[in-house]
């Protein structure tokens, strides 16, 4: 059943035209009109706003510390354009059932069989934040620092690792405020990190996020849009208001809790265990698309006719027993189990890139050439030529003296304060660092243990969360739609 033509006066549509090509004034006005259109003319049961209050959703935990998903908790997506598309394990299960449902409703004529929502297929999903950070460090930071900044730093040649780090500190001081982040945590906090890095979002289109007209014409005004957005809530998804082709798992929804805690599995795939384990060796879980998985039915009032391929994930055991928890409890459970705080890896990663940047600089500039001004009269002036020495892999060893744990703590404090935009006096910074050093110097355990606890102390006391207020405090109240017209009789898949 194709969608009807919208030619009658009552189908008049309002459009906005902001894009990357409009000037700042027009963009501001058009985006205001987009907000008005969205709040008054677009029927959307539940949504995310990643340009606004949901910016850090899935990127920061309840404490406000930046996080990334552990690869072992990722699961391969069905209904995807590429076998290398993954999402968080229970999100992948929900996506499977959601698209199965859309397919059934399209075949039954309840949904129109054309348009972007008639046959949703994932074209983008989890994107490795480490891979994104790696690209960022090589293409932006390395280019800006090694290939540009050091070239204009006249009169102070880089002769050693120490000189290189001094120059890097100056680069951070001059560049972080208007340029971009340096640490992994700073990257995850920044605009360079995408909702796709969280494992909670799945996209069915590659449209540009800046083109408002296409959002409205292709998606919001699609005849299937109102119904599909409601059906999405029955599988724990909400749409992104600024990218209506992006479905994001709503962790506040009892439906998503049902996919974590499982339903009684009584149908199909007799004797076959549900594929709900965590990936071995921290690898994403792969699925066999033709394997008949067991399934059951939703236990949520009003949704009990809906199929759930939902086995119990033991890692989320704190949520078992009831489907109704506060958003804070749900997110805390999920993030504690399936995510890790990024500050634990910041300096390990940064020192890796600093060695690489320095050695690349040495490779491109193998000699130090200095003009010798001490020549005698009647003798020709001479240049001194000294070869640069690459940095050894252990230059930042925990057991070293020049660039060991204390240097690492001071460097991290300095860079993170710049990334956060903190304005402290030199005396305040010295006091903070002395307190941190005392935590390290007088801590218990091995050097790595003491260093880790000193970083933890710094993160909690001085660096702080991405927001001062609580990150997840029951702000959302998802609407679970009970519509008999779309609550079709169970179908076996």
166 occurs within a structural domain = yes
293 occurs within a structural domain = yes
362 occurs within a structural domain = yes
- Indicate the helix (H) or strand (E) that contains 311: none
Tell me, yes or no, whether 208 and 295 share the same domain: yes
484 occurs within a structural domain = no
Tell me, yes or no, whether 114 and 172 share the same domain: no
E-only strand ranges, 9-97: 47-48, 67-69, 74-76, 86-88
Q: Quick one: tokens of 318?
A: 């704190």
Report the relative pairing of strands 201-203 and 86-88 from DSSP bridges: unpaired
Maximum alpha-carbon separation in the chain: 102
Tell me, yes or no, whether 266 and 216 share the same domain: yes
Tell me, yes or no, whether 55 and 201 share the same domain: yes
The pLDDT value given to residue 481: 45
Report the relative pairing of strands 296-297 and 243-249 from DSSP bridges: unpaired
3 occurs within a structural domain = no
Is residue 337 within 8 Å of residue 315, measured between CB atoms? Answer: yes
Is residue 125 within 8 Å of residue 198, measured between CB atoms? Answer: no
- Indicate the helix (H) or strand (E) that contains 204: none
Is residue 30 within 8 Å of residue 22, measured between CB atoms? Answer: yes
Which DSSP letter does residue 147 get?
I
3-to-9, 113, 227, 358, 457 alpha-carbon distances in Å? 17, 8, 14, 60, 59
150 occurs within a structural domain = yes
**Residue 69 to residue 338: CA distance in whole angstroms:** 6
**Residue 295 to residue 468: CA distance in whole angstroms:** 43
**Residue 124 to residue 140: CA distance in whole angstroms:** 24
The pLDDT value given to residue 282: 81
What region does 323 belong to: left with phi over 0, alpha with psi -120 to 50, or beta? Answer: alpha
Kindly give the interhelix angle for 254-261 and 327-338, rounded to the nearest 10 degrees: 40
**Residue 430 to residue 127: CA distance in whole angstroms:** 39
Tell me, yes or no, whether 115 and 231 share the same domain: yes
Burial class for 316, CB neighbours closer than 10 Å (0-12, 13-18, 19+):
buried
Is residue 232 within 8 Å of residue 247, measured between CB atoms? Answer: yes
Tell me, yes or no, whether 50 and 108 share the same domain: yes
In which domain, by residue range, is 136 found?
A: 129-193+339-396
Tell me, yes or no, whether 265 and 291 share the same domain: yes
Burial class for 42, CB neighbours closer than 10 Å (0-12, 13-18, 19+):
buried
60 occurs within a structural domain = yes
The pLDDT value given to residue 8: 42
Enumerate long-range contacts of 425-432, CB under 8 Å, 24 or more apart. Answer: 432/462
Tell me, yes or no, whether 208 and 182 share the same domain: no
pLDDT digits (tens, 9 = 90+) for 127-169: 999 999 999 999 999 999 988 888 877 667 888 999 999 999 9
Q: Which residues contact 116 (CB under 8 A, 6 or more apart)?
A: 204, 205, 218, 219, 222, 245
Tell me, yes or no, whether 104 and 139 share the same domain: no
Q: What is the number of structural domains in the chain?
A: 3
**Residue 73 to residue 23: CA distance in whole angstroms:** 43
**Residue 301 to residue 275: CA distance in whole angstroms:** 26
| C-alpha 360, offset from chain centre | 29
Torsion over CA: 474, 87, 336, 192 (sign): negative
User: CB-side exposure of 377: number of CA atoms within 13 Å?
Assistant: 0
Of 284, 346, 295, whose CA–CA distance to 87 is shortest?
Answer: 284
Residues of the chain with pLDDT under 70: 1, 4-21, 25-28, 30-45, 154-155, 269-273, 371-382, 467-493
Q: How many CB atoms lie within 10 A of CB 321?
A: 8
Tell me, yes or no, whether 316 and 250 share the same domain: yes
2 occurs within a structural domain = no
The reported pTM is 0.88
Tell me, yes or no, whether 144 and 104 share the same domain: no
Is residue 30 within 8 Å of residue 16, measured between CB atoms? Answer: yes
95-to-171, 203, 444 alpha-carbon distances in Å? 44, 11, 47
Is residue 67 within 8 Å of residue 74, measured between CB atoms? Answer: no
The pLDDT value given to residue 20: 67
Tell me, yes or no, whether 98 and 241 share the same domain: yes
């Amino acid at each position: 059943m194709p969608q009807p033509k919208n030619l009658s006066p009552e189908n008049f549509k309002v459009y906005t035209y902001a894009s990357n090509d409009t000037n700042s004034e027009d963009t501001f006005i058009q985006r205001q009109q987009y907000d008005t259109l969205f709040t008054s003319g677009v029927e959307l049961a539940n949504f995310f706003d990643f340009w606004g209050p949901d910016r850090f959703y899935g990127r920061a935990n309840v404490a406000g510390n930046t996080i990334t998903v552990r690869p072992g908790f990722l699961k391969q997506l069905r209904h995807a354009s590429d076998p290398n598309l993954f999402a968080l394990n229970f999100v992948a299960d929900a996506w499977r059932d959601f698209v199965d449902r859309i397919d059934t409703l399209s075949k039954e004529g309840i949904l129109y069989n054309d348009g972007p929502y008639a046959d949703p297929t994932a074209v983008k999903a989890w994107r490795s934040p480490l891979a994104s950070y790696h690209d960022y460090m090589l293409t932006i930071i390395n280019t800006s620092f090694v290939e540009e900044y050091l070239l204009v730093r006249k009169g102070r040649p880089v002769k050693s690792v120490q000189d290189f780090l001094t120059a890097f500190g100056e680069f951070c001081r001059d560049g972080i405020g208007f340029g971009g982040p340096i640490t992994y945590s700073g990257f995850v906090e920044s605009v360079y990190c995408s909702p796709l890095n969280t494992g909670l979002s799945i996209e069915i289109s590659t449209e540009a996020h800046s083109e408002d007209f296409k959002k409205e014409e292709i998606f919001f005004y699609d005849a299937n849009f109102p119904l599909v957005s409601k059906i999405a809530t029955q599988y724990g998804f909400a749409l992104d208001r600024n990218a209506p082709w992006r479905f994001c798992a709503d962790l506040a929804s009892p439906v998503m809790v049902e996919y974590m805690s499982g339903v009684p599995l009584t149908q199909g795939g007799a004797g076959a265990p549900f594929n709900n384990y965590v990936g071995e060796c921290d690898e994403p879980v792969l699925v066999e698309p033709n394997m008949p998985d067991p399934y059951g039915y939703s236990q949520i009032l009003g949704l009990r006719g809906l199929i759930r391929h939902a086995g119990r994930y033991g890692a989320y055991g704190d949520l078992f027993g009831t489907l109704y928890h506060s958003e804070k409890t749900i997110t805390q459970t999920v993030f504690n189990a399936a995510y890790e705080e990024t500050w634990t890896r910041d300096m390990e990663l940064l020192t890796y890139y600093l060695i690489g940047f320095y050695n690349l600089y040495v490779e491109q500039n193998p000699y130090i050439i200095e003009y010798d001004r001490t020549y005698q009269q009647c003798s020709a002036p001479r240049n001194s030529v000294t070869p640069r020495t690459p940095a050894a892999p252990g230059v930042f060893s925990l057991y070293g003296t020049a660039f060991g744990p204390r240097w690492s703590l001071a460097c991290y404090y300095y860079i993170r304060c710049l990334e956060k935009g903190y304005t402290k006096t030199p005396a305040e910074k010295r006091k903070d660092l002395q307190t941190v050093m005392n935590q390290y110097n007088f801590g218990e355990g091995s050097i790595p243990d003491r260093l880790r606890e000193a970083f933890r102390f710094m993160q909690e006391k001085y660096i702080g969360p991405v927001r001062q207020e609580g990150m997840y405090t029951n702000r959302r109240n998802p609407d679970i739609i009970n519509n008999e017209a779309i609550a079709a009789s169970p179908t076996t898949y």
